[in-house]
Structure 1
């Protein structure tokens, strides 16, 4: 499989991924990139690949061991042909309407599970998310977007004032279209409910499965680092540090010493970044990290927030040059490998998160998974370390709520 940081790096934000139609909750959810990008339309697509059929079987399995099927609620929401839709229990994509809001001001798009055992649903072509909530329903709100079209406000579990802050919930992300199924489990915004994906088609692929006791291990690992400890919200969720920074729960200058070290180190020596476009060679010149190679690309010194969100100074335009280099730099900062290796991307997972100043949240979620893959930050797909799978001829997808 082509390393995903070599692919076109479009649609790294929910707003863009859903065609600009989403109205976000208090903060826009940053979506793990390739669940919504690897749709076979870029330079790496295979024109001869078979088209996926419609109405893909989706199986939901409740293996939490802590909640009965009656306590689990499923929501499938997203974008279809530029419209905000939700999937009904019969597999139909239904456009969002303001009239869907009930007397309490919120929609009820919940799909219940079967009384026992697995629940089989039907997934139409769609780019979106599968939310699960445990013990209570989520409060999606139909609103009008900036263009006057019906849209949805999504849960923002990292915002204390959000109506769903007290609800135990999580989601997986996907794009399913004629090119295939592209999906992931994500911890980019937060980690709460352990989810596993099994995608069948040309082959069987499983990702996202936690080790036994993995959920508790994530909570404990994050609690052990003083700067990260406030990100743990009871036994409900762990908030990603970028959102924690915005909420005043995480130091806004946490990574500044490491960032300064990187800038100092590459003032006097070269840093190389290899992408599908070729090898870029850079040095800090006039406080900008400037690369020569297939094209000249340049980056201002990023802030801690830029690193955690892989945005701002590390934003990745879909241009085939600056975008892929930004992705590799973002991964290098989060994994704290930029000082240990002057050739990026680093592909040895044993070298990740080895410094005191690192993304300990991402470290914890990776350590908890059986395959070592997770979406702990937006560029975690660099060198193929994200909990992402794809198939150009899918026959079914299973989402399992695994044991707490």
Structure 2
């Protein structure tokens, strides 16, 4: 395994400005790495680059008629969606109909596989099982039309009762970059596959893996309230914000790190070089290719890999912050003063750790998952890419 490369397309770099979801009254505006498409003709040109996407329902729990697909995101800085006919269309306020919501659902074929085309865009492929999702077109703070997306951790969200999940992707002239993500929640078992210059796949759970994750967290007193029946498990970051997870869970561990590295060096390797840090004047300060420092993070900062651990896309502070975020969530910073720790056997080996991420990784066949935002450090995220993609596959796997 290798240290994180700040220039590799990852969940953070390709969807960093796409909020995880929206609570009532707020809109998500996501960014894409292409120029602004200022007409429907431009959107048609984007759709002309379509990559075949085959969706297969092997859930064993839901018939194809009960599976609803949504492909939403951005082309340039314009909110778009893929239609039932496989074309790219702008999100419009006039799309809101019954109950004030859009109906962007794409039905699966009556049986077998469903094949669509993914245009050049950046966004998400949602699946909803049993019931449709309620997306709402709204006017964002910038005056542009945006799409309010599901927030599965907010009880007042109209989509809270619906069993749903999503994968993320960016498809552009450089290739296809995609991941299965549990950064927000864990719900529907899915795997993705890319055929291109190589054959890649990720996201598959072990037999009984979903039940294994639910069982592990139901029996952990700090994480049990994140489990919402058999519908989903809320990530501890969102759980903290909605009162389902202890606000100070990591505080003692953070204090211990700050104490240890007052008199001991913490070494962080990145593609930009090696940084050596100690705690000075209450900040973890690194020297090396550049001087970077971090205030003591809170539990919330650790879970979101944000705040004091925010990772700007600067090639210097960002990579160091990513390694620290991974070290905190994997609880490797006490016993390993050289980071990143790359061997999975060293992860999550303390009582206080991100047991949510631990359980999800343990349930996947290749050990890879996106349990927190910096899970791509050392290559442990369920992320794949290909510079010459020919076909993408999304499979709903057995519950």
| Common topology (TM > 0.5) | yes
Matched with 1:398 is 393
What are the equivalent positions in structure 2 for 1:177-326 lying under 5 Å apart? 177-326=172-321
Tell me how large the CA RMSD over aligned residues is.
2.5
1:25 to 23, 27, 43: 23
Query: Are residues 389 and 334 of structure 1, via their aligned partners in 2, closer, same or farther at CA, if it must alter by over 3 Å?
Result: same
1:79 aligned onto 2:77: no
TM superposition shift of 1:55: 0.9
Q: Deviations over 1:309-339 (max 9, x none)?
A: 0000000011111100000000000000001
Tell me how far apart the structure 2 counterparts of residues 30 and 264 of structure 1 sit (CA, whole Å).
40
1:169 aligned onto 2:164: yes
TM superposition shift of 1:16: 4.8
> Secondary structure at the residue paired with 1:220?
helix
Aligned length: 387
CA contact (8 A) 2:55 2:393 kept: yes
> Secondary structure at the residue paired with 2:99?
coil
CA contact (8 A) 1:57 1:397 kept: yes
TM superposition shift of 1:89: 1.8
TM superposition shift of 1:30: 11
Tell me how far apart the structure 2 counterparts of residues 232 and 241 of structure 1 sit (CA, whole Å).
10
TM superposition shift of 1:82: 1.1
Tell me how far apart the structure 1 counterparts of residues 94 and 380 of structure 2 sit (CA, whole Å).
42
> Secondary structure at the residue paired with 2:378?
coil
Q: Deviations over 1:55-100 (max 9, x none)?
A: 1000000000000000000000000021000101222110000000
Query: Are residues 399 and 139 of structure 1, via their aligned partners in 2, closer, same or farther at CA, if it must alter by over 3 Å?
Result: same
> Secondary structure at the residue paired with 1:299?
strand
TM superposition shift of 1:224: 1.7
Tell me how far apart the structure 1 counterparts of residues 330 and 390 of structure 2 sit (CA, whole Å).
35
TM superposition shift of 1:6: 3.7
TM superposition shift of 1:187: 0.1
TM superposition shift of 1:25: 3.2
Matched with 2:7 is 7
Tell me how far apart the structure 1 counterparts of residues 6 and 12 of structure 2 sit (CA, whole Å).
14
Gaps of 5+ in 2: 35-47
Tell me how far apart the structure 1 counterparts of residues 242 and 398 of structure 2 sit (CA, whole Å).
30
Query: Are residues 28 and 260 of structure 1, via their aligned partners in 2, closer, same or farther at CA, if it must alter by over 3 Å?
Result: farther
Query: Are residues 228 and 370 of structure 1, via their aligned partners in 2, closer, same or farther at CA, if it must alter by over 3 Å?
Result: same
Gaps of 5+ in 1: 40-52
Tell me how far apart the structure 1 counterparts of residues 239 and 343 of structure 2 sit (CA, whole Å).
28
> Secondary structure at the residue paired with 1:217?
helix
Tell me how far apart the structure 2 counterparts of residues 357 and 36 of structure 1 sit (CA, whole Å).
37
Query: Are residues 375 and 27 of structure 1, via their aligned partners in 2, closer, same or farther at CA, if it must alter by over 3 Å?
Result: farther
1:137 to 106, 116, 132: 132
TM superposition shift of 1:27: 10
Query: Are residues 281 and 4 of structure 1, via their aligned partners in 2, closer, same or farther at CA, if it must alter by over 3 Å?
Result: closer
Tell me how far apart the structure 1 counterparts of residues 106 and 252 of structure 2 sit (CA, whole Å).
48
Q: TM-score, normalised to structure 1's length?
A: 0.91
TM superposition shift of 1:8: 6.2
Query: Are residues 371 and 311 of structure 1, via their aligned partners in 2, closer, same or farther at CA, if it must alter by over 3 Å?
Result: same
Matched with 1:55 is 50
Matched with 2:39 is none
Matched with 1:365 is 360
Matched with 1:331 is 326
> Secondary structure at the residue paired with 2:377?
coil
Query: Are residues 13 and 389 of structure 1, via their aligned partners in 2, closer, same or farther at CA, if it must alter by over 3 Å?
Result: closer
Q: TM-score, normalised to structure 2's length?
A: 0.92
Q: Deviations over 1:225-273 (max 9, x none)?
A: 1000000000000000010000111110000111011100000100000
Query: Are residues 26 and 10 of structure 1, via their aligned partners in 2, closer, same or farther at CA, if it must alter by over 3 Å?
Result: farther
TM superposition shift of 1:151: 0.8
TM superposition shift of 1:147: 1.6
TM superposition shift of 1:149: 1.2
TM superposition shift of 1:402: 0.4
Query: Are residues 369 and 27 of structure 1, via their aligned partners in 2, closer, same or farther at CA, if it must alter by over 3 Å?
Result: farther
Tell me how far apart the structure 2 counterparts of residues 255 and 350 of structure 1 sit (CA, whole Å).
21
CA contact (8 A) 1:29 1:156 kept: no
2:378 to 374, 380, 383: 383
TM superposition shift of 1:176: 0.2
Tell me how far apart the structure 2 counterparts of residues 194 and 351 of structure 1 sit (CA, whole Å).
26
Matched with 2:83 is 88
